[in-house]
Structure 1
């Protein structure tokens, strides 16, 4: 997946020993004005990495796949997730497809 999309906001990734690939989430300056903190907290540079980090490990760890392959696997995961949320059951963890 790396190198398939532009990285205009300079997202940085690291490998965590237990959690796998994670995206670094920017920090909001604690002394900033409340409205500035709100804007920053809701920006894509903060929300995007948080959303990526919330994906299951097998999706975050994908390598040697095209962007379309990644999107297809992501769609499959969300379909299972939405189905489980509407049926009020626990979220199943989909097994990686080969």
Structure 2
């Protein structure tokens, strides 16, 4: 992390120097089969894992960081047979892939659910409350109205706030699941109902593609705060 709390240095190392691009080039050079089953297996096994390790911690908010990571998947899928001239959003649909930002949000939600269930330690002292209509909601920590712009930005992108806001848009049928398997299944079914259009050069996106944005457009539940 840099002095201004940015994960850009880490992301640059992960994408370019930690062999994510090098591994993609190696795979494309060694394996000549470009059929979807083979390419997807190689991508998921050897490449995607390199840009997702511990992503709930360093999940970026800067558009150029998001696009830098996503470019790994975007460029690799373009080399799959029959998809060279298909735009990226449609490639995701045809390959049944999820954008990397959407996967990072999913990991973040699952981690906070584990905190709620006592599977992971609650080091940040995240507070939850039961709502008869909406289910389990996260109570976001308060922020003084006099906080500086920099402090507000740090607050908005901190894990407790970011994860809390993501969890607070989940419907009751998802956030009240009590086992990890049922929670992942319900979460997956819910995410399948939302568009997945990550910010990509050359495409005009409706929003940031965050789960929060899509739910807000559909009139999602309000976020709980400390009184």
Q: Is 1:11 equivalent to 2:11 in the alignment?
A: no
The match for 1:26 is 141
| Partner Cα distance (1:45, 1:31) in 2 | 20
Q: Secondary structure at the match of 1:27?
A: coil
| Partner Cα distance (1:73, 1:16) in 2 | 19
Instruction: Select the structure with the greater relative contact order (CA < 8 A; seq sep ≥ 6).
Output: 1
> Aligned to 2:195, which of 69, 75, 82?
82
CA contact (8 A) 1:29 1:37 kept: no
Would you say how many aligned residue pairs link Structure 1 and Structure 2? 82
The match for 2:150 is 35
Listed one character per residue, the Cα deviations across residues 44-85 of structure 1 (whole Å, up to 9, x for unaligned) are 11111111010011111112x1x24422331222123237xx
CA contact (8 A) 2:167 2:175 kept: yes
Task: Kindly indicate which of the two structures has a greater share of residues assigned to helix.
Answer: 2
> Normalized against structure 1, the TM-score is what?
0.69
How well do the aligned residues superpose, as a CA RMSD in angstroms?
A: 2.1
Q: Secondary structure at the match of 2:185?
A: helix
Higher Cα Rg, which structure: 2
CA contact (8 A) 2:134 2:171 kept: no
Question: Structure 2: 5+ residue runs without aligned partners?
Answer: 1-112, 197-217, 219-227
